[in-house]
Structure 1
Amino acid sequence: MKPFRSSPAISVSSSLLDSPLSPAPIFSNRRGRIIAYSRFRSLNRFSTSSAAATKWNSTTHGIINQPALLLMLDSCNSMLQLKQIQAHLTTTSLITRTFPASRALAFCALADGGDICHAAALFARIQKPNNYMWNTMIRGWGKAKQPRVGFSLFRRMVRERAEMDARSFVFSLKVCEQFSTAFKGECVHGITWKTGFRGSLLVSNVLIHFYGGHGRVELAGKLFDEMPVKDAVSWTSMIDEYSSNNRCDDAMKLFKYMLSSDVEPNEVTMIAVLSACSQNGDLEMGKDVHECIRSKSMDFTLNLMNAILDMYIKCGCLGAAEEIFDKMEAGLAPMEDTLVCVLSACGQLGSVELGQWIYLHYIDNQQIKNTLIISNAFIDMYAKCGLIDSAANIFHKMPKRDLVSWNSIIAAYAAHGNPNQALSIFHQMLLANFKPDRITFVGVLSACSHGGLVAEGHKYFHNMKNDFGIEPTREHYACMVDLLGRVGQLEDAFKMISGMPMEPSQAAWGALLNASRMHGNVELAKLAANKLLELDPEDSGTYVLLATVCAGNKRWGDVRMVRSMMREKGVKKTPGRSLVDVEGKFHEFLAGDVSHLQFDRICKALKGIFLLSEMDEAEYYALAVASDY
């Protein structure tokens, strides 16, 4: 270790090292003077009996045999205390020992009250840092949201052939999760092969999560299949990645395979599977999972109950959801997570009455604190239920906002056709010194699309990278294609989608197909439809939309061709389904279904709507053709 500045005239008496409970330590200098180091006693105010436990601390074995200063390190909770302790460690030469240096480094790098720059300065003076120190610094830079520095440190660790363990790769991959692409994580993955950690269960589990988080689900699945040994974390991670990437059917299949394996699912597994059931609207599978939880006598924790509740609500089984809610333990007020879960379901189902009741009963009556997260959930719920004014009211009353708050209200205004208000909120956000992220720009570009603001859309699209360092993703390109298509600039929209640096998403081709329908461009519609069918040959909606475009332009031969393609591939149109909430009771309607008791009255009202909409003959006929499928 490089020498620290300390007085060579001071030596440490054995009493300091032998007993942390000894009286005031005695120091002697070269002149033989005896100095009572009374300031040492003042450090006792930092003892474990008075200081709160800190999150950075880890289990320390044999601590009663360590010097008193090390006891101070374990209870340290501010940089002021750390610097005082470090000064004593330096003057007593204890800082040259691995254990004290590691503890000081860990506090600076990982504690909430730490200072990563101070940790870096301390680390730079250690001549031969051990594996724990390297890992601590990489983890610290990740915590500080400085992934470039963290990854650079990992590369240096490789260059200097420093000792590595599985956690070195875990913390490095956690750092790489903060990059917009998977490239640097792939580099870390490559090094696992060269260093013999390819077969590490811990590293493989983190790699699955890393690739899934970057949308590389196929690669995550390949890693999972090649693992010689899998634990509950492996299975759960892969199920969760399938669910998070809209591959719920694959999540369900994998869960069934897990049940036939020798690995038992745990609470987190069940929550991931229930999430997949919620996304798929698969009530039967959800009920099976619920029964599986019962049969395995798993503890019905609050998180698990919330997931079951969320599944029943999102699958439209409100009776079972209410029963679950009533059975939740000791009549306690629901926790924040419970309310957020229920409000999310209210937003998806359009159940605004329940959402309003929750606000009145729990927030207005002060039965639960209106936290930042709950306020964000109310903004989202009101916006999805069409009550943009109520969402805005919540937003403007918030004493404190985070990025989710701003993103939610921007997206809300964009979705409700208020582009100018959305952009105004965006500029207010910048003035408030919030840095936008990818989600922010999806909302901003969506607002431009709904408002036909082409110049503004181009400006924000280019500013993403130039001003904020954000690389446009498939979602941003889809927004731009939608924007150009809506205003009739179909050629520019096609150039945009053709020039994407990645494979266009279904959303981008879908936006081009919809724009072609709006402006009657049959040839471009065919091209977009063919691309969509390459991505999902079973999507009946693509066939129907293409037939609608052809019918609108009286291309009856093309309409017959589309119908023929559907017959050849065995594709049938999924009947349109809608739910209407009338005074707390849900009414379900299917296309072509005439069984509702008030069918005649509903048809009369619908005809009135058609008359008010002033559709021309071609539009009406196109609608009729689409409804025949």
Structure 2
Amino acid sequence: MPPPLLPCLPTSPLKAQFLRRILLQFFSSSAKPKWNSNHNLIITHPVLSIMESCNSMAELKQIQAHMTRAGLIAHRFPASRVLAFCALSDYGDIDHARLVFAQIPDPNTYIWNTMIRGYTRSKLPRSSLFLFCQMICEHVVMDSRTFVSVLKACEKFSEVFMGEEIHCMIFKLGFDSDLLVENGLVHFYVKNGLLDSARKVFDELCQRDVVSWTTMIDGYSQKGLPDEALRLFYRMLLMNIQPNEVTMITVLSAISQLGHLRLGKLVHEFIWKSDMNVTVNLMNALVDMYGKCGGVDSAREVFGSMGIKDVFSWTSMVNAYARCGDLRLARQFFESMPERNAVSWSSMIAAYAQANHAKEALELFHEMLGMCVKPIDATLVSVLSACAQSGCLDLGRWIYGHFIDGKIIKLSVNLANAFIGMYAKCGDIEAAARLFNAMPERDIVSWNAMIMAYAVHGYGNEALTHFEQLKSEGMVPDDITFVGVLSACSRAGLVVEGQRHFKDMKSIFGIEPKSVHYACQIDLLGKVGLLEDAYEFVRNMPVEPDEAGWGALLNACRIHGNVEFGKYAGDKLLGLDPGDGGIYVLLSSMYATRNKWDDVKKVRRMMRDRGVKKTPGCSSIEVDGKFHEFFVADASHVQSKAIYMTLDNIYLQLRIEGYVPKS
């Protein structure tokens, strides 16, 4: 008889509880733990079998102690199982794994791979690479999983050269024909945003499986190239490669970006007709797709058919109703959620902020904090937008001090951009500039935010200086950049500069001007009194001016008293939006400056006949976290008497100082 592969249980008595656990595990359990990478492995030894359901390091150490006494730990396979638990289990300990690894004599490739995976999983990628280099130095034989594991470690670094060096080694050692390794390479390049390199590896594959196709499709989708993702999916179907549920999730993500509802319904039908595992994640992707494509009824239908719903399912429905503008139903779904996480709260806050319901957004944020839910990056971006809308500078400053200075949330580029916008819109241009100058990394949104901030506050030269710096640093301006540049020229009266930058948009940067850019030019010419030039500019535009363009011309005519052009612009505006009370007010004011009182009466009569009312002016302030709104001649506030008494004292003081109000 050959000797057994593993020693038998010792005859010495064990603790009763421990023995019962071994026997129970031995006879009843067949499930593989998450840390078991080899799903074909069958564990029959009772002591090793018990590790399959081990859920703490304390239990593991008890098992390991028993294995040491029994002599099991001296054998490579039992030692590898202990190592795998410590390195790969949710309950493991990478430091203990390191100790176990150091005591294994002559570890094989599997053990080295396990340790590399463990370091990567524990967010210690440098240790993974160090161990890989040690394998090379000790001439350890590598297999495909070695390279897959080390590529996973390389994904954790912002530098790409390490992964590229591994790629060279893969080629030299002949693993370039191994599908598992090649899929790992495609994933590495996709993860780092190098889609051209990923596609090159993908196109050179001798064979491709569903993982190859899905990884590449997902890369295009994540990079904002949905058309390319769907073209690749179509090729996949033509080659008779059966997609799985992960493939379809990436495809639905691409469709969501396009907003193509009809295509989404066709893919939905394809999913139901296919022999595919319809998971909760796939159903969630369908709900999300319908919501983003405007098919809220279809989203509700899919949501209602789900047997199991998670927090993402509910959040997708909140987003679906928010997108179609039904904040009441969105809030109803939000309140009905069995559980909420930071993403759920962020979605509802974002819905209010994007609909310019700043008060509701900030109230919900305070409620979120009261429920001890930690905000995420996206939460603060939406809250800062609401702060900008309502002028809540104090809250914005508190958010920075508490979450950023307090190191609760890392200041990402996206979040820093939101802070810059908030500071600028709340009037603190210096804080916006300080933050911008301190940013170690900036994107085009950062530059646009700062240029727009200077433009809005009338610092035209500073805005143009930043525009030149943007170009000198190799950034490519976009259409939003030129809105800021042209606005800066308009507010500062820089006619020559404004006209030059307007021409450069198309001739140098290839950006086709939009209606907002034309409106800036009309405003620029009109503000400096070049009304005839503005009028000719409007007449020669390749596109019909919108409300902003005609409004800029009408406002310029009001300022300079040009009734002829003003009446023409006013008629055009009333044709576009006859219910806008602001147009009538501008026309009336323009006629009044020229003492054309009959025309003023006509405008007011027109308002009455059409049932148009002037929107009353409204101011709001925040005091101790509460908002107070005031309209013209408003006496509804509980402290209105004290407020008006204070105003009377201010007026009296002004008159004493010699102030004479304009009639």
Sort the TM-score into its range (normalised by shorter chain): 0.7 to 0.9
Structure 1 residue 508 displacement after superposition: 7.4
1:19 aligned to 2:8?
yes
- Within the candidate set 197, 202, 212, 1:219 is matched to 197
Higher relative contact order (CA 8 A, sep 6+): 1
Q: Which residue of 1 aligns with 2:523?
A: 552
- Within the candidate set 61, 65, 75, 2:53 is matched to 75
Which AA in structure 1 matches 2:34? Answer: K
- Within the candidate set 311, 315, 318, 1:343 is matched to 318
Q: Is the 8 A contact 2:361 2:383 kept in 1?
A: no
Runs of 4+ in 1 over 6 A off after TM superposition: 50-53, 531-535, 555-564, 572-576, 599-602, 612-617
Q: Which residue of 2 aligns with 1:497?
A: 470
Q: Which residue of 2 aligns with 1:144?
A: 122
Q: Give the Cα separation in 2 of the matches to 1:497 and 1:41.
A: 74
Q: Which residue of 2 aligns with 1:357?
A: 332
Change (3 A) 1:79 1:202: same
- Within the candidate set 383, 408, 413, 1:434 is matched to 408
1:389 aligned to 2:368?
no
Tell me the alpha carbon deviations over residues 27-55 of structure 1, each in whole angstroms, 9 at most, x when there is no partner: xxxxxxxxxxx566664365484799853
What secondary structure does 2:470 align onto?
helix
- Within the candidate set 332, 342, 345, 1:375 is matched to 345
Deviates more, 1:205-214 or 1:232-241: 205-214
Q: Give the Cα separation in 1 of the matches to 2:501 and 2:574.
A: 41
Structure 1 residue 163 displacement after superposition: 2.8
Structure 1 residue 278 displacement after superposition: 1.7
Which AA in structure 2 matches 1:374? Answer: S
Q: Give the Cα separation in 2 of the matches to 1:216 and 1:614.
A: 59
Deviates more, 1:259-268 or 1:87-96: 87-96
Q: Is the 8 A contact 1:485 1:516 kept in 2?
A: yes
Q: Give the Cα separation in 1 of the matches to 2:438 and 2:146.
A: 36
Change (3 A) 1:94 1:257: same
Q: Give the Cα separation in 1 of the matches to 2:190 and 2:535.
A: 40
Structure 1 residue 115 displacement after superposition: 1.6
What secondary structure does 2:578 align onto?
helix
Change (3 A) 1:101 1:312: same
Q: Give the Cα separation in 2 of the matches to 1:574 and 1:281.
A: 27
Which AA in structure 2 matches 1:375? Answer: W
Q: Which residue of 1 aligns with 2:253?
A: 275
Q: Is the 8 A contact 2:255 2:264 kept in 1?
A: yes
Structure 2, gaps ≥5 residues long: 548-572, 592-663
Structure 1 residue 339 displacement after superposition: 1.0
Change (3 A) 1:517 1:279: farther
Q: Give the Cα separation in 2 of the matches to 1:105 and 1:559.
A: 79
- Within the candidate set 39, 43, 53, 1:63 is matched to 43
Which AA in structure 2 matches 1:378? Answer: M
1:481-492 to 2 correspondences below 5 Å = 481-484=451-454, 486-487=456-457, 488=459, 489-492=462-465
Q: Which residue of 1 aligns with 2:658?
A: none
Q: Give the Cα separation in 2 of the matches to 1:184 and 1:451.
A: 45
Q: Which residue of 2 aligns with 1:44?
A: 19
- Within the candidate set 424, 442, 448, 2:423 is matched to 448
TM-score, normalised with respect to structure 1: 0.73
Structure 1 residue 376 displacement after superposition: 3.6
Which AA in structure 1 matches 2:189? Answer: Y
Structure 1 residue 528 displacement after superposition: 8.3
Change (3 A) 1:435 1:604: closer
- Within the candidate set 391, 396, 404, 1:422 is matched to 396
Q: Give the Cα separation in 1 of the matches to 2:48 and 2:41.
A: 12
What secondary structure does 1:553 align onto?
helix
Q: Give the Cα separation in 1 of the matches to 2:480 and 2:137.
A: 43
Q: Give the Cα separation in 2 of the matches to 1:232 and 1:176.
A: 23
Q: Give the Cα separation in 2 of the matches to 1:400 and 1:241.
A: 32
Q: Give the Cα separation in 2 of the matches to 1:615 and 1:252.
A: 55
Q: Give the Cα separation in 2 of the matches to 1:464 and 1:376.
A: 25
Structure 1 residue 219 displacement after superposition: 2.9
Q: Give the Cα separation in 1 of the matches to 2:292 and 2:589.
A: 35
Structure 1 residue 146 displacement after superposition: 2.9
The alignment yields a C-alpha RMSD, in angstroms, of 4.3
Which AA in structure 2 matches 1:112? Answer: D
Q: Is the 8 A contact 1:379 1:394 kept in 2?
A: no
Change (3 A) 1:346 1:394: farther
Q: Give the Cα separation in 2 of the matches to 1:447 and 1:140.
A: 43
Q: Which residue of 1 aligns with 2:181?
A: 203
Structure 1 residue 99 displacement after superposition: 1.6
Structure 1 residue 355 displacement after superposition: 0.7
Structure 1 residue 250 displacement after superposition: 1.6
Q: Give the Cα separation in 2 of the matches to 1:96 and 1:333.
A: 47
Percent identity, please: 32
Q: Which residue of 1 aligns with 2:580?
A: 606
Tell me the alpha carbon deviations over residues 489-530 of structure 1, each in whole angstroms, 9 at most, x when there is no partner: 224412541354x64464874565465465465647855885
Tell me the alpha carbon deviations over residues 207-258 of structure 1, each in whole angstroms, 9 at most, x when there is no partner: 3333333333333333333323222222222222222222122222222222
What secondary structure does 1:605 align onto?
coil
In the alignment of these two chains, the number of paired residues is: 544
Q: Is the 8 A contact 2:486 2:517 kept in 1?
A: no
Q: Is the 8 A contact 1:380 1:391 kept in 2?
A: no
What secondary structure does 1:63 align onto?
coil
Structure 1, gaps ≥5 residues long: 1-13, 25-37, 466-470, 577-598, 618-629
Deviates more, 1:433-442 or 1:549-558: 549-558
What secondary structure does 1:112 align onto?
coil
Q: Give the Cα separation in 2 of the matches to 1:525 and 1:167.
A: 61
Q: Is the 8 A contact 1:414 1:446 kept in 2?
A: no
Which AA in structure 2 matches 1:210? Answer: F
Q: Give the Cα separation in 2 of the matches to 1:404 and 1:79.
A: 34
